[in-house]
Amino acid sequence: MPFKAVVFDAYGTLFDVYSVQHVAEQLFPGHGAALALAWRDKQIEYTRLITQSDPDPAKGSRFYQSFWEITRRSLHYCLDRLKLDRTDGQDEALMGQYAKLSPFPENLDVLRTIKRQGLTTAILSNGSPQMLDSAVHSAGMAGLLDHVISVDGIRLFKTAPQAYALVQQNIALPLDEILFVSSNAWDALGANWFGLRTHWVNRQGLPFEALEPRPDFTGPDLRSVLTTLHIEPH
């Protein structure tokens, strides 16, 4: 087996960030899909803005806010942008859904299969510890992950190299024995730049970024990771 550990991105890779559109559609009929899409884009935009602004390798960005707070502020912006009036109850309903995002349907079987092979499993995420704890337990993944690593302690978001460095701070293995899995092309690229081997889960059939290098492996869903690991699916 070429790898001894598999590290997963959380949002978009294990948890479906666009599953919030079902609640959004109930609250704002006709706007659910647009809100879910805009919300995710603004959330990532804010992480990049913060990480690029006055970053300190030791202290992080002085503008840092937790991913939970960024998620809430992104929601407020998008509701204003779409000219959707909100109540506190609607706000909390959407944030509550984000805390318990739906996992992709194949995830649990894939994680169980990987764990049966004795590999170390982990999450590396922009998510705050409380967000990740809620999502992991809601999805039934708590016993399938050896580490849940948040960037919160370094006050910098991916793709800062300090974020990817957290992997080896928690898993004592050489980089070439760790597979990093993400459905976000920018995340796979950042991990590759850091020196990790990467598997891009291309759920939407998109072209990869025009920047290099390309991911080491790719596939349409999380089951493709088993092929990369040379594991027969059960």
Residue 234 has pLDDT above 80, yes or no: no
The pLDDT, as a whole number, for residue 16 is 95
Which of 43-57, 98-112, 201-215 bottoms out in mean pLDDT, i.e. has the lowest? 43-57
> pTM here?
0.94
Q: Which has more pLDDT, 5 or 232? A: 5
Q: Assign residue 203 a region (left: φ > 0; alpha: ψ between -120 and 50; beta: otherwise).
A: alpha
Task: Indicate the helix (H) or strand (E) that contains 192.
Answer: helix 185-194
- For 70-128, write each residue's pLDDT tens digit: 999 999 999 999 999 888 889 899 999 999 999 999 999 999 999 999 999 999 999 99
For residues 77 and 100, give the distance between their C-alpha atoms in angstroms, rounded to a whole number. 21
**Mean local confidence (pLDDT), 25-39:** 95
Q: How confident is the model at residue 232 (pLDDT cuts 50, 70, 90)?
A: confident
The pLDDT, as a whole number, for residue 157 is 96
| Backbone φ, ψ for residue 229 (5° rounding) | -85, 0
β-partners of residue 201 are: 219
Quote the percentage of the chain above a pLDDT of 70: 99
Query: What six digits make up the tokens of 15?
Result: 């948890």
For residues 152 and 154, give the distance between their C-alpha atoms in angstroms, rounded to a whole number. 6
- For 130-173, write each residue's pLDDT tens digit: 999 999 999 999 999 999 999 999 999 999 999 999 999 999 99
What residues are annotated to the active site? Answer: 9
The two beta strands, 178-182 and 197-201, are parallel
The pLDDT, as a whole number, for residue 1 is 66
Smallest Cα–Cα separation from 47: which of 187, 218, 222?
Answer: 187
Number of helices (H), then strands (E), in the chain: 9, 6
Smallest Cα–Cα separation from 195: which of 174, 169, 225, 222?
Answer: 174
Residue 61 has pLDDT above 90, yes or no: no
Structural domains in the chain, CATH included, are 5-15+102-228 (3.40.50.1000), 17-99 (1.10.150.240)
The pLDDT, as a whole number, for residue 153 is 93
The pLDDT, as a whole number, for residue 198 is 98
**Strands of 178-182's sheet, edge to edge?**
147-150, 120-125, 5-8, 178-182, 197-201, 217-219
The pLDDT, as a whole number, for residue 112 is 96
